[in-house]
C-alpha cells in the first residue's frame, strides 16, 4: 500500500494506513483472496516519486508483494506504472485527471468529467457561481484538470478570471488568496493537495475571504477540515464518491469496522482513506474473477458493492456515484448526488 507519510499529502497517511489494515482484516475474515491470507506492507508514497518506484520495484523483485494499491498523487503513479506493468497488478483508487490506459493499472477514482464538471454546473445553477479563479499545485493532476476546466467553462458559460499554479508543498497562501479576492471571482476552484489546501483555507480565514467568494475542491476530506479550523471551512464545498457522513449499510459497516478495529482515538475516517479500502476491494474482485493471480486482466465491466455504493468498474471509465457536499465545521453535509 503506497500512501503518503510525509509532504503535503502526509495528513492523509495515518487514516490511510488504518483503513489498509482494516480491509485486509475484512478480506481475511471472508476467507482471504483465492484462499490466501492478505498481508499489508506500507510504503511511503510521500517520498520522491523515483524513490517510491525504486522501493516498490525492489519489493516486487524479491517476491515480497503480489499487488500494489494505496492513495498517492499522479506523479507517483506515473513513476510506478512502468516498473509495475507486467509484474503485478496495480489498483489506483485516488481521484485523478483521467485517461490512464497503461496495462496492469486499474483506476477506480473520480475523474474531472464525473466530478468537477457536474459540480461546476450545480454551483452555477443553484448558487449563481459563474466567475472562477483556479489555483492548483504544479504537477500533472492540477495541470490536466485546469485544461479540462477551461473546456467545461465554455460548455457551461462560465468565466475563468484567474489561474495560479504553486509549487507542491507551498505553505504561504496569503498572496494567492489575496489575488483571488482581487480577481472579483464568485468562487475559487482548489486543485491543491492536503497541507497546501489547508494552508489556503487558513489564509482565506485570515483575510475573511469567505465574504468575497466560495471555494470548491475535488480533493477535500474530513482530516483537512480539522486542520483548516472552523473559520477556514466557511463557504467550502467538495465533491467525492464517499463522505464519512453518508448513510448506507455499506458505509455504516465501514465506520463500525473501523471503530471496532482501531478504537475511539483512531485517525478520523475520511474520504481519502476510504480510497484505500476501495483499491484493495477492486483487486480482490479482479483476482477472484480471474481465478489466478497471474491471469488477472481488465474485464469489460465489473460490478460490485462498496462503501461508495454500486461500482461499475470499466477499464476506460469507472462509473460510481459522486456527491456534492458543504463543509459543516469539521464534517460534510451532502447536498446532492451529481452523477450516479
Model confidence at 275, in pLDDT bands (50, 70, 90)? very high
Q: What is the pTM of this model?
A: 0.94
Strands (E), 42-201: 43-44, 90-92, 105-107, 131-137, 159-166, 187-191
Cell of 285: 474482485
Mean pLDDT across 40-54: 98
For residue 335, pLDDT over 70 is answered with: yes
Mean residue pLDDT of the chain comes to 94
Please tell me what DSSP assigns to residue 86.
Answer: T
- From residue 31, alpha-carbon distances to 26, 68, 257, 259, 309 in Å are 9, 20, 17, 22, 23
Phi, psi angles (nearest 5°) of residue 159? -115, 130
Residue 166, pLDDT score: 97
Cβ-Cβ contacts under 8 Å for 230 (sequence gap 6 or more): 329, 330
Mean pLDDT across 31-59: 97
* Span 221-263, pLDDT tens digits: 999 999 999 999 999 999 999 999 998 999 999 999 999 999 9
Task: Judge contact between 110 and 322, C-beta under 8 A.
Answer: yes
Please tell me what DSSP assigns to residue 38.
Answer: P
Geometric angle at alpha carbon 101, from 339 and 191, rounded to 5°: 55
For 232-275, give the DSSP string: GGTTEEEEES--TT--SHHHHHHHHHHHHHH-TTSPPP-HHHHH
The residue among 278, 192, 202, 274 whose CA lies nearest residue 238 is 192
Question: Cβ–Cβ contacts within 10 Å for residue 301, how many?
Answer: 12
Model confidence at 295, in pLDDT bands (50, 70, 90)? low
Strand pairing class (187-191; 131-137): parallel
CA distance 257 to 226: 22
* Span 181-233, pLDDT tens digits: 999 999 999 999 999 999 999 999 999 999 999 999 999 999 999 999 999 99
Task: Determine which helix (DSSP H) or strand (DSSP E) holds 122, and give its type and residue range.
Answer: helix 116-127
CA distance 184 to 178: 11
For residue 298, pLDDT over 70 is answered with: no
For residue 310, pLDDT over 80 is answered with: yes
Residue 317, pLDDT score: 79
Q: What is the number of alpha carbons within 13 Å of residue 172 lying toward its C-beta?
A: 1
- From residue 30, alpha-carbon distances to 9, 23, 86, 284 in Å are 32, 11, 28, 11
Task: Judge contact between 334 and 245, C-beta under 8 A.
Answer: yes
Q: What is the number of alpha carbons within 13 Å of residue 316 lying toward its C-beta?
A: 2
Domains defined along the chain, listed by start: 2-110+246-319 (3.40.50.2300), 113-242+323-339 (3.40.50.2300)
Amino acid at each position: 500500500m503506497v500512501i503518503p507519510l510525509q509532504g503535503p499529502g502526509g495528513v492523509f497517511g495515518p487514516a490511510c494506513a488504518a483503513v489498509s489494515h482494516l480491509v485486509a482484516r475484512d478480506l481475511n475474515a471472508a476467507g482471504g483472496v483465492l484462499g490466501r491470507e492478505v498481508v499489508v506492507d506500507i510504503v511511503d508514497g510521500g517520498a520522491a516519486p523515483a524513490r517510491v518506484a525504486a522501493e516498490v520495484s525492489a519489493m516486487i523483485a524479491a517476491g515480497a508483494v503480489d499487488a500494489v494499491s494505496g492513495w498517492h498523487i499522479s506523479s507517483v503513479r506515473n513513476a510506478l506504472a512502468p516498473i509495475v506493468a507486467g509484474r503485478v497488478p496495480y489498483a489506483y483508487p485516488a481521484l485523478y485527471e483521467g485517461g490512464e490506459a497503461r496495462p496492469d493499472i486499474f483506476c477506480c477514482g473520480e475523474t474531472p468529467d464525473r466530478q468537477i464538471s457536474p459540480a461546476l454546473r450545480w454551483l452555477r445553477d443553484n448558487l449563481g457561481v459563474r466567475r472562477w479563479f483556479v489555483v492548483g499545485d504544479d504537477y500533472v493532476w492540477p495541470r490536466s484538470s485546469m485544461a479540462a476546466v477551461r473546456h467545461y467553462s465554455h460548455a457551461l458559460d462560465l468565466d475563468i478570471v484567474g489561474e495560479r499554479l504553486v509549487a507542491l508543498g507551498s505553505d504561504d497562501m496569503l498572496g494567492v488568496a489575496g489575488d483571488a479576492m482581487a480577481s472579483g471571482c464568485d468562487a475559487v476552484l482548489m486543485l491543491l493537495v492536503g497541507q497546501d489546501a489547508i494552508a489556503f483555507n487558513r489564509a482565506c480565514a485570515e483575510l475573511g475571504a469567505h465574504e468575497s467568494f466560495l471555494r470548491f475542491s475535488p480533493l477535500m476530506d474530513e482530516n483537512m477540515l480539522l486542520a483548516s479550523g472552523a473559520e477556514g471551512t466557511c463557504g467550502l464545498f467538495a465533491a467525492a464518491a464517499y463522505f464519512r457522513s453518508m448513510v448506507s449499510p455499506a458505509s455504516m459497516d465501514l465506520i463500525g469496522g473501523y471503530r471496532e478495529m482501531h478504537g475511539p482515538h483512531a485517525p478520523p475516517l475520511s474520504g481519502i482513506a476510504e480510497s484505500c479500502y476501495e483499491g484493495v476491494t477492486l483487486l480482490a474482485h479482479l483476482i477472484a474473477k480471474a481465478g489466478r493471480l497471474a491471469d488477472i486482466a481488465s474485464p469489460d465491466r465489473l460490478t460490485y458493492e462498496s462503501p461508495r455504493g454500486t461500482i461499475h468498474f470499466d477499464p476506460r471509465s469507472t462509473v460510481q456515484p459522486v456527491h456534492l457536499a458543504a463543509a459543516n465545521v469539521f464534517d460534510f453535509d451532502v447536498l446532492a448526488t451529481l452523477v450516479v
